[in-house]
């Protein structure tokens, strides 16, 4: 494995769930990690668990100014960003005929538009240095549609398509852009009707997704894993 000791990583959605697990995994490997999410108290809890290698930067990834401030502050305090992990995400579920404009905008802005903005701001520095890793967390819902999840699936299908296209755009600069699509994961998406009746002990853990990210960012320079689909061993 290639060491990430001393590298600078930015992780969105780092206050809880998958984002928190990824941030702690990277910090444990010696990276300097900027933690981003809306909830400052949750970020502080992640920072306490991650130790001195972490830096708290409260951020609403739906807002362009917040995203730019996040990446500018991470670069000025920690150094040029080597690793960007987009793990921020929300889920609102229901029939399309009853879906509100507000929920539609919130899902697309958080799950997809934020990734476009973070990548757009971080790429010039990565291109100039000829290296970098970007990992976008999507979902199995970005590969297969299902009832009552149309908008959520649309956002995650978008993440997969955006990642695949961006990877082709920047791989010539030594930058790897990868997507991770986890199946049922034991997080706080409790409002998802597809989780009802599932056995928690059979679901993926956030740490399982963090392990996949660890594999991506420690590849040798000539290796590029573009997509990981991660499923529980047994159907929950």
- What CATH number does residue 102 fall under? 3.40.50.720
The pTM of this model reads 0.95
Q: Which of 93, 121, 152, 157 is catalytic?
A: 152
Domain presence at residue 1: no
- The order of strands in the sheet holding 32-36 is 54-56, 32-36, 8-12, 83-86, 132-137, 175-182, 227-230
- Residue ranges making up the domain that contains 14: 8-230
Domain-located, residue 176: yes
> Active site includes 152?
yes
Q: How far is CA 75 from CA 17, 92, 121, in A?
A: 25, 33, 11
Q: Is residue 235 part of a domain?
A: no
DSSP notation for 35-86: EE-S-HHHHHHHHHHHGGGEEE----TTSHHHHHHHHHHHHHHT-S--EEEE
Let me know if residue 90 belongs to a domain. yes
Is 137 a domain residue? yes
- Please indicate, yes or no, if residue 200 is contained in any of the structural domains: yes
| DSSP per-residue codes, 7-35 | -EEEEETTTSHHHHHHHHHHHHTT-EEEE
The C-alpha atoms of residue 97 and residue 76 are separated, in whole angstroms, by 46
Q: Per residue of the chain (236 residues), give pLDDT as tens.
A: 899 999 999 999 999 999 999 999 999 999 999 999 999 999 999 999 999 999 999 999 999 999 999 999 999 999 999 999 999 999 999 999 999 999 999 999 999 999 999 999 999 999 999 999 999 999 999 999 999 999 999 999 999 999 999 999 999 999 999 999 999 998 876 456 666 667 878 899 999 999 999 999 999 999 999 999 999 998 87
Query: How many domains does the chain fold into?
Result: 1
Within-domain flag for 3: no
């Amino acid at each position: 494995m290639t060491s990430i000791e001393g590298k600078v990583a930015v992780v969105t959605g780092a206050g809880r769930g998958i984002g928190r697990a990824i941030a702690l995994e990277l910090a444990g490997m010696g990276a300097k990690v900027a933690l981003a999410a809306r909830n400052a108290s949750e970020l502080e809890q992640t920072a306490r668990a991650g130790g001195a290698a972490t830096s708290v930067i409260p951020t609403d990834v739906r807002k362009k100014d917040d995203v730019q401030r996040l990446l500018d502050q991470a670069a000025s305090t920690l150094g040029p960003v080597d690793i960007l992990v987009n793990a921020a995400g929300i889920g609102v579920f229901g029939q399309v005929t009853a879906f509100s404009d507000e929920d539609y905008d919130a899902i697309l802005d958080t799950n997809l538009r934020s990734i476009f903005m973070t990548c757009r701001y971080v790429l010039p520095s990565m291109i100039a240095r000829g290296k970098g890793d970007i990992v976008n967390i999507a979902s199995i819902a970005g590969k297969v549609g299902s009832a009552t999840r149309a908008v959520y699936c649309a956002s995650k299908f978008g993440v997969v398509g955006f990642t695949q296209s961006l990877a082709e755009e920047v791989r010539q600069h030594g930058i790897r852009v990868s997507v991770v699509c986890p199946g049922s994961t034991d997080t706080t998406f409790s409002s998802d009707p597809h989780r009802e009746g599932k056995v928690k002990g059979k679901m993926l853990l956030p740490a399982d997704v963090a392990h996949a990210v660890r594999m991506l960012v420690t590849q040798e320079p000539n290796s590029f894993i573009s997509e990981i689909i991660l499923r529980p061993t047994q159907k929950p």
